[in-house]
Amino acid sequence: MIFGKFLEKYKKLKLSLLLTGDELLSGDIADTNSDFMAKELADIGIEVQKKLIVGDNLSLLVEALTYLSSDNDVVIVNGGLGATEDDLSAEASAMFCGDSLKIHPDVFQSVKQKYGLGVLVDNPEFIQQIEKQSTLPESAEVIENGVGIAFGYKVKQKNTVFYFTPGVPREMRKMLTDYILPDIQKTYFSQEKKITAKIHVIGGIGESRIQQIIKDFIPADIWKVVKLGFRAGMASVEIKLSVKSEKDLAVLEEVEKNIRGYFSESLLLASKSLPRMIIDILQKRGGKLALAESCTGGLVASQITSISGASAVFEAGLVTYANESKVNQLKIPEQFIETYGAVSQEVAVKMVEGLFLVTQADFGVAITGIAGPTGGTEEKPVGTVFVAWGDRDRIETRKFLIKRERTEFQRYVAIVALDALRKYLLNFTSETSYYFDEISKHRFQAIDKKGILT
């Protein structure tokens, strides 16, 4: 959303999406591409009017293009630009536009180079595949593919502009952000560019609560100049601030500075994942990390070791799922587990202490919880999890309730554990309330009689 007369121009623009592929209709793959496109378009104030999904059928594709051209200024088409028989977008768009198909020489040479000339020797079938990928409507304006093989293209039919993009998500995303969105803005909107700042906050604080906090300490008149928006992610919220022109840049920077100051201990870097941040902090601070995971099954270790540079700071990851493994690998007395239960604050602390007994690590994190859907009790319902972290001199622990489907539960717990470690390493408070939905919050408050988590 933007301001004044420009808002009217955005409202008048009609844009729809056309997704192609039998696999989308059969459910073999999920349609994540249109979600991404809709969110990116929303960021510049454009609402998607319609979304159609059509299988690999030439006549249906032509019919869909004809239908969408009747009441849209822009249509983004996704899929069907590969080298196989069921990739029909180029043929359908040529038929729809009354255009001829031709091999675009520049595209052909580029695709050959990307495949590698060595594999093309004495391989006529491969040459045919490249020729198919290079065959586009004659009037097409080619869109470069910065991360893959298939080229996109742009055609105009009467009053509608069509952008054709490959179905591979990272290839579509690159084309959308590098070419299509800037082209739409340049073609349809004022050259006066909206300026946006984004702030990422972690900690389970919901969008409505963040909005309330921000509006409590920033004067109301500011919001006549600065637009406030949100996008919720997994266990984090993106705060979006925007102004309509450079003359309001100073106001935007002051608001951003104040918000970053308020949420300073909960800020994530947009360019870095939590595992990347942990590795960078450990590299600067010095010391190695070890993990003991139960209900997350090694997910945290997997996320850490997926990052280049992990070997310099990561020593070991133990998946101590069964009680026997906690006893044998972490040296926790069996009687101790029987007394307190495997899912307990006491055992979580012992798991970290055990890491220091069996590894040379300087820092440790332990996780023990009930992933569900079975195994919960009234005192410890499904979703209860204890995370402990610290060094050889001091260990902290927190209790959480994260009510999610099993795999989602594991992902949220991994985020919580990594963020708790991040705050510890940066000497921030560990008292953040990680509530990820209101049901969990109220259930937690009802069962947490000891006040372990406020």
The contacts of residue 284 (CB under 8 Å, 6+ apart) are none
Q: Share the mean pLDDT of the chain.
A: 87
Per-residue model confidence as pLDDT tens digits over 118-133 = 544 456 667 777 788 8
> From residue 388, how far is each of 150, 349, 383 by CA, in Å?
48, 6, 16
Domains of the chain: 4-188 (3.40.980.10), 195-268 (3.30.70.2860), 274-447 (3.90.950.20)
Per-residue model confidence as pLDDT tens digits over 29-38 = 889 999 999 9
Note the helical H segments in 13-88: 22-26, 33-43, 58-69
Per-residue model confidence as pLDDT tens digits over 181-219 = 999 988 887 545 678 898 988 866 778 888 999 999 999
> Range with the lowest mean pLDDT among 108-122, 214-228, 363-377?
108-122
Q: Tokens for 435? A: 């509530």
Count Cβ atoms below 10 Å from residue 353 Cβ, excluding itself.
19
Residue 428's pLDDT band, with cuts at 50, 70 and 90, is: confident
Residue 145's pLDDT band, with cuts at 50, 70 and 90, is: confident
Residues 22, 87 contacting (CB under 8 angstroms): no
Per-residue model confidence as pLDDT tens digits over 376-389 = 998 999 999 999 99
pLDDT in the model for residue 176? 96
Residue 106's pLDDT band, with cuts at 50, 70 and 90, is: confident
pLDDT exceeds 90 at position 432: no
CA atoms within 13 A on the CB side of 276: 7
pLDDT in the model for residue 305? 97
Query: What is the rounded average pLDDT of the residues 405-410?
Result: 92
For residue 6, give the H/E element and its range. helix 4-12
Query: What is the rounded average pLDDT of the residues 89-109?
Result: 91
pLDDT in the model for residue 193? 61
- The DSSP bridge pattern shows strands 195-202 and 227-233 to be unpaired
pLDDT in the model for residue 51? 96
DSSP code at position 27: T
pLDDT exceeds 70 at position 94: yes
Per-residue model confidence as pLDDT tens digits over 53-87 = 999 999 999 999 999 999 999 999 999 998 888 89
- Give percent of the chain with pLDDT exceeding 70: 87
Residue 434's pLDDT band, with cuts at 50, 70 and 90, is: low
Helix then strand then coil, % of the chain, to nearest 5: 45, 20, 35
Distance CA 408, CA 298 (A): 14
Per-residue model confidence as pLDDT tens digits over 12-50 = 689 999 999 999 999 888 899 999 999 899 878 788 999
Q: At what angle do helices 207-217 and 249-262 cross, to 10 degrees?
A: 110
Count Cβ atoms below 10 Å from residue 27 Cβ, excluding itself.
8
Distance CA 425, CA 422 (A): 5
Q: pLDDT higher for 3 or 441?
A: 441
Note the helical H segments in 265-340: 274-285, 299-305, 323-330, 334-340
- The model's pTM: 0.65
Distance CA 207, CA 231 (A): 8
* The residue type at 240: K
Per-residue model confidence as pLDDT tens digits over 271-295 = 688 999 999 999 999 999 999 999 9
Distance CA 196, CA 45 (A): 12
- Give percent of the chain with pLDDT exceeding 90: 63
Query: What is the rounded average pLDDT of the residues 242-255?
Result: 90
pLDDT in the model for residue 454? 28
pLDDT in the model for residue 115? 63
Residue 229, beta-bridge partner list: 240
The radius of gyration of the chain's CA atoms, rounded to the nearest angstrom, is 27
Residue 3's pLDDT band, with cuts at 50, 70 and 90, is: very low
Residues 81, 90 contacting (CB under 8 angstroms): yes
Per-residue model confidence as pLDDT tens digits over 315-371 = 999 999 999 999 999 999 999 999 999 999 999 999 999 999 999 999 999 999 999
Count Cβ atoms below 10 Å from residue 286 Cβ, excluding itself.
8
pLDDT in the model for residue 430? 65
Looking up tokens 């690159």 gives 174
Nearest residue to 223 via CA among 195, 197, 255: 255
